[in-house]
Chains A and B, each alone.
Chain A
Amino acid sequence: MNSSHNSWPPKILLWLYSFFLYLYPQEFRKEYRQQMFIVFNDLYKQHKIQKRNTYVWFIKEICADTLISVVQQQIHTTRIAFGRSILNTLAAAMLTFVVSIFLMSVGISVYTDIAQGGSTQSRLQSFTYRHSDTIIEGVFKEAYKQAAACENISDMKLQNRCQEDVGTHIAHILPEEELMGIKQTGWPTDLFFVKKSGANYSMLRWDGKITDVSSAVNEPPIINHGFFNKLTSKDTCSYFHVADAYNSCETYTAISLPNNETGYLVRMVPKKPFNYIVLRLLQPLLFLLVVLFNPSELGFAPEIYIISVIGYILFLILATRYMLGRQK
């Protein structure tokens, strides 16, 4: 057996490609599914030899090809079934479904681009985080203790200097971060400490200032939703409408503190390509589930509502036309 047979695409790509194949008309799929899979594997092997970025290759070559050929095949199939009427062609349920899904994907892509277009995100693009998860309760408490002590100083100049010292001191305690390949010690500007005391939330960041952010924070859930949470990870930080966190925050970690207080380490981290692709391709489907079972989860993104509602209206209109066409 040829040794190149051992090089298989990642499971997620195989899974996605299988899904793509289901978008083709049944007859076409039955006839060519196996052959297309073989060619897909061949292309992947070739791409690995050329050492190009797998996900860029997948989007640029496979997704684009699938989008074009699915529409071509669906139009061809429905033309045979319903004659050459454009309206009847559009009315085919499968084509409508494909169009709706792609419309929603486009909507979500647009939203994601808007959300990521800020300068904070581009600044963070080259960060490599290695140790932030090791920040412990001790550091958190120490930071708040020192910053609170500064607030008792009445002289503003001295207070500012004290706060700067807090920032510097905590920066020394924090583990080393790696910025653009160069090790440096410092309090990363993308890391916020948020503390909940009773119903009040306060935020402490790199400049050593404690700010009341009660009105900008909603109660973040402690429950870990696992895989689902990962897919909608942008959601998680919508609980922290503070500073720039809303636009690029992906994660937060809850720390239990004494006296029924809770601490949150809110971090902005760059998007990983995998998550980005999953968000673009799968979120339309998840969106359906979320809206059905927990609409409040998506309260942060009106764009998604608008684009999706347009998609659904289009779907309903065309599906109705299709049903009426069949009755005639």
Chain B
Amino acid sequence: MSKSTRANHYIPLSPSIFYILLSLSIKERHGYDIMKQVKKESGGKVALGPGTLYGSIKKMLTDGLITESDERPDPALDDNRRRYYKITKLGSKMLSTELQRFEEALKTAKNNKIHIALTSIKLTVV
């Protein structure tokens, strides 16, 4: 099975994978930075621990959604053993597909005049 076929199984993305991809779409990050960003972006609703974080990272690396970056922090500023991760083209595509799916769902909700649902979706997605 090719990486892109395997990656299609991700749609819809799980909250943790979605937020990890979202955090890496801004810039390259190390594990703890990803955890903080995911918590911030999700408003504290998705809190990853070290085990679940690296479980997801391992899965995403295998399926080619993210890749390890060559970047290492300046030893004078931070621990240079930290590994940095960046989003791949396939990962970006998955994220776009997922965001598109959200957008379509939002449109459908608007067309059907589901005002209450719309408000809550807007708060989450925008």
Contact = CB atoms under 8 A, between A and B. Distances in A.
A217 to B, nearest CB: 47
Interface stretch (B73-81, B100-108, B118-126): B73-81
Interface in B31-68: 31-32, 35, 47-55, 57-58
Contacts of B49: 61-62, 64-66, 68-69
Given A43-B32, A69-B55, A36 B78 contact: no
Contacts of A39: 31-32, 35, 50, 53-54
A73 B25 CA distance: 26
Interface in A1-47: 1-2, 5, 24, 28, 31-32, 34-36, 38-40, 42-43
Contacts of A65: 48-52
A145 B57 CA distance: 72
A38 B52 contact: no
Nearest to A34: B81
Interface residues of A, number: 26
Interface string B9-30: 0000000000000000000000
A73 B81 CA distance: 23
Interface in A34-87: 34-36, 38-40, 42-43, 61-62, 64-66, 68-70, 72-73, 76
Contact of B31 (A38, A61, A76): A38
Interface in A273-306: none
Given A31-B58, A38-B31, A39-B31, A66 B51 contact: yes
Given A35-B31, A35-B82, A38-B81, A1 B76 contact: yes
Contacts of B50: 36, 39-40, 43, 62, 65
Contacts of B52: 65, 68-69, 72
A24 B35 CA distance: 20
Contacts of B48: 65
B31 A73 contact: no
A68 B53 CA distance: 11
Contacts of B35: 39, 43
B81 A70 contact: no
A35 B30 CA distance: 9
A42 B31 CA distance: 10
Contacts of B32: 38-39, 42-43
B75 to A, nearest CB: 8
B116 to A, nearest CB: 33
A32 B54 contact: yes
A178 B55 CA distance: 49
A68 B52 CA distance: 8
A2 B58 contact: no
A40 B32 CA distance: 9
A4 to B, nearest CB: 10
Contacts of B76: 1
Looking at B32, B48, B76, which has the most chain A CB atoms within 10 Å of its CB?
Answer: B32
A28 B58 contact: yes
A60 to B, nearest CB: 10
A72 B54 contact: no
A42 B30 CA distance: 12
A157 B51 CA distance: 68
B81 A2 contact: no
A41 to B, nearest CB: 9
Contacts of A61: 47, 49
19 contacts: A1-B75, A1-B76, A2-B77, A28-B55, A32-B58, A35-B54, A36-B51, A36-B54, A38-B79, A39-B35, A39-B50, A43-B35, A61-B49, A65-B48, A65-B49, A65-B51, A69-B54, A72-B52, A72-B55
Given A1-B75, A65-B48, 9 more contacts: A28-B54, A31-B58, A32-B58, A35-B82, A36-B31, A43-B35, A66-B51, A72-B55, A73-B51
Interface of B: 31-32, 35, 47-55, 57-58, 75-79, 81-83
Interface of A: 1-2, 5, 24, 28, 31-32, 34-36, 38-40, 42-43, 61-62, 64-66, 68-70, 72-73, 76
